[in-house]
Structure 1
Amino acid sequence: MEESTTSTGHRSIEHAGAWALAHVRHRGRSFPALVQHNRVLDLSTRDEVGRPASPSALLQDWDAMLPKLERLAETIGDWIDLAGLQVLSPVEPRQIFQAGANYRTHVLDLVVAHHDGADGRTPEQVRADAAAHMDERLALPPFVFQGLPTAICGPFDDVILPYGAEQPDFELELAAVIGRTARRVPVDQALDYVAGWTIVNDITLREKVFRKDSPGLGADWLASKNHPTFLPVGPVLVPRDALPDPGDLRVTLRLNGQVMQDASTSELIFDVARLVAHCSEVATLLPGDLLLTGSPAGNGLAHGRLLRAGDRMDSTISGLGAQSNLCIPEASEGTA
């Protein structure tokens, strides 16, 4: 995918803690950077951290790099003004794990929205049945699927609505960035494997989630969630210690200035520790991987207002900065 030339302009990146990790482009060159007070320090020139070419290099040895980054955050000089720089995704994951149906109200809204009435149940009955199922889920493993890294774009890049898309929707989510290789991690140790937090908007084509031609096959996550630019990430990675408790962060998305999603991560059915532990039971988590925790209620489908070309999404999560993405149409059929 061709990179956008969108920059931060005059936007301010406010984040928790004394510093955050970013990936920026300046004068035709991209590099990992510390962000502090809307200025950046080019880490690719710093011997202290091995002159890394990307944030991935830092995350491969995060435990060793973290104290060095903390010391560099106190460095005087060599800082660049953030304004005008292009901000890329702060991570380049090899794997993306996506928790689904992880906010109670969101699940109930979607079940009702997708119900076609063929079974004779009223919307109230459908919601009550789904609520009972939610209670049963707590005794079961979380529901997690995988996404593709090629869907990632920057936090201020344009989101391309594919040719022929009927129901493009937004799903703002807290994401954990893995900082250590993890396999069969117990829940009480799971957060030790998290390097930090970032913002993700998991754009979804609602009409593609369930195959009408083969309903028995289940959800088609490839077709519904993995188009180029469908995963704006960033603007920064905030270290875990700056937000040690991700269990009460505000998740807010505005569409053209109107609040659509506004919830707390305290509403998660399965918390971050449970999700990390579950994923590590199935797969080996790698440094730099992304774990999306699910999206709260207030998606476009529930509001009856899906994304259209010309829409702007402004998204924030407490302490993690903000995204702003303009929706544009794909140029023509077959254009990626």
Structure 2
Amino acid sequence: MAGAEPVAYSLITFTDPNTGEPRTGLETGGQVLPLTDANLDLPGDGSITMQAVIEHWDKAEPQLDLLAEQSTTEQSSDAPSWLNSEELTVLAPLQPRQVLQAGANYRQHVIDLAVAHRDGGGTEEEIRARITATMDRRAEGTPYFFIGLPTAMASATEDLVLPSYSKTHDWELELAAVIGKRAFRVSPEEALDHVFGYTMVNDITTRELVFRKDMPAIGSDWFRAKNAPGFLPTGPLVLPAKFVEDPQDLMVTLRLNGETMQKESTADMIFTVAQLISHASQQMPLLPGDLILTGSPSGNGAHWGRMLRDGDVMEGTITGLGTQLVHCRDEVAP
């Protein structure tokens, strides 16, 4: 029908139930269509991966729009087979070359951190008032970035193995932007044009390893604190940017064993998604498929005085980005 709203869809990577191999699929309405060179014509060797879709989005987009539209109509006997999404094993949706993470990028989170560390001294009320007053000034400065490792990524449903060397593993649910085309020294006004879509990441952190007690002048040690296997549960899906009206109007919610620990709008970010991408691109080219984590809202374990334990279940949601369900278990010593 002319003028009808396009059918919204997301993209996932899943295990093919027949071959056991990773496959890329179009997901809409609880159905998944495996993408092949028979239903998606892209340049290259015919291998339909998430990376190929991102790099050739100009050609993939109209074809995917049509496939999503066909999902709502009666299919002929020779039409492509759609699968039930609930019966599939999802994988991390993409394999980025670079993972860039923004730290302390939510106002309430920064205030809570300052109170926890008694920054500058004073009562809790005095600290909160002082840090709140500095937020606008900080937004005129530069975001704090650090590098994550793609090898720490896991799917949205894999068990999180809690390393035995610490009992201070913490959660931090975050919105992540997926870069769609090379961005180098772009302005904030141009930045969102370089976003392919959005996904969800839980940035697990071992709190006691964040600061090097043996080298206090060096500062934070994000390599050891954040890059253990499985410390970046990602997905379950990538939602194309055209289906996200405003990335600064999404709700980030994490529940631990059914109890809400984090619940905040992305409107609380100090630096917007566009500003983060612009700032990051001033130092390094951002490449198609790269992940830009945008920081986590208040309500992590450090705030509650409660770290992750064996048997915990984390349920994470961000508006439109599906649900993560991660079970925690202690590492078994060899």
Q: TM-score, structure 1 length as denominator?
A: 0.89
More divergent stretch after superposition (197-206 vs 53-62): 53-62
Q: Secondary structure at the match of 1:34?
A: strand
Who is 2:302 aligned against? 301
Q: Deviations over 1:263-316 (max 9, x none)?
A: 101111110110111111111000000111110011111111111110000011
Q: How many angstroms apart in 2 are the aligned matches of 1:207 and 1:160?
A: 17
Q: Is the 8 Å Cα contact of residues 89 and 154 (structure 1) preserved in structure 2? A: yes
* 1:49 paired residue among 16, 19, 41: 41
User: Which letter maps to 1:58?
Assistant: V
More divergent stretch after superposition (149-158 vs 135-144): 135-144
Q: Deviations over 1:201-224 (max 9, x none)?
A: 111111111111111111111011
How do 1:22-61 and structure 2 match up within 5 A?
22-27=12-17, 28-50=20-42, 51-61=46-56
Deviation at 1:114, TM superposition (A): 3.3
Who is 2:233 aligned against? 232
Q: Deviations over 1:20-55 (max 9, x none)?
A: 100000231211100011111111343533343421
2:117 is the counterpart of 1:98: no
2:316 is the counterpart of 1:315: yes
Please tell me the root mean square deviation across aligned C-alpha atoms, in Å.
1.8
Deviation at 1:80, TM superposition (A): 1.4
Compared with structure 1, are the counterparts of its residues 132 and 96 closer, same or farther at alpha carbon in structure 2 (3 Å cutoff)?
Answer: same
Which runs of 4 or more aligned residues in structure 1 lie more than 4 Å from their structure 2 counterparts after TM superposition? none
Q: How many angstroms apart in 1 are the aligned matches of 2:95 and 2:221?
A: 24
Q: Is the 8 Å Cα contact of residues 7 and 65 (structure 2) preserved in structure 1? A: no
User: Which letter maps to 2:293?
Assistant: L
* 1:64 paired residue among 59, 66, 70: 59
User: Which letter maps to 1:109?
Assistant: D
User: Which letter maps to 1:220?
Assistant: D
Q: Secondary structure at the match of 2:326?
A: strand
Q: How many angstroms apart in 2 are the aligned matches of 1:25 and 1:266?
A: 35
Q: TM-score, structure 2 length as denominator?
A: 0.90
How do 1:141-290 and structure 2 match up within 5 A?
141-290=142-291
User: Which letter maps to 1:71?
Assistant: L
Q: Which has the larger radius of gyration?
A: 2
Q: Is the 8 Å Cα contact of residues 167 and 308 (structure 2) preserved in structure 1? A: no
User: Which letter maps to 1:56?
Assistant: Q
* Structure 1: segments with no counterpart, 5+ residues: 1-15
2:90 is the counterpart of 1:87: yes
Q: How many angstroms apart in 1 are the aligned matches of 2:30 and 2:206?
A: 35
Q: Secondary structure at the match of 2:143?
A: coil
Q: How many angstroms apart in 2 are the aligned matches of 1:229 and 1:313?
A: 14
User: Which letter maps to 2:262?
Assistant: Q
- Count of paired positions: 316
Q: Secondary structure at the match of 2:115?
A: helix
Q: How many angstroms apart in 2 are the aligned matches of 1:49 and 1:24?
A: 20
Q: Is the 8 Å Cα contact of residues 172 and 296 (structure 1) preserved in structure 2? A: yes
Who is 1:6 aligned against? none
Q: How many angstroms apart in 2 are the aligned matches of 1:244 and 1:63?
A: 20
* Structure 2: segments with no counterpart, 5+ residues: 1-5
2:15 is the counterpart of 1:20: no
Deviation at 1:125, TM superposition (A): 4.0
Q: Is the 8 Å Cα contact of residues 7 and 68 (structure 2) preserved in structure 1? A: no
Q: How many angstroms apart in 2 are the aligned matches of 1:218 and 1:136?
A: 23
Q: Deviations over 1:232-272 (max 9, x none)?
A: 11111111111131111111100000000011011111101
Compared with structure 1, are the counterparts of its residues 17 and 266 closer, same or farther at alpha carbon in structure 2 (3 Å cutoff)?
Answer: farther
User: Which letter maps to 2:67?
Assistant: L
Who is 2:68 aligned against? 73
Q: How many angstroms apart in 2 are the aligned matches of 1:204 and 1:46?
A: 43
Deviation at 1:227, TM superposition (A): 0.7
Q: Secondary structure at the match of 2:287?
A: coil
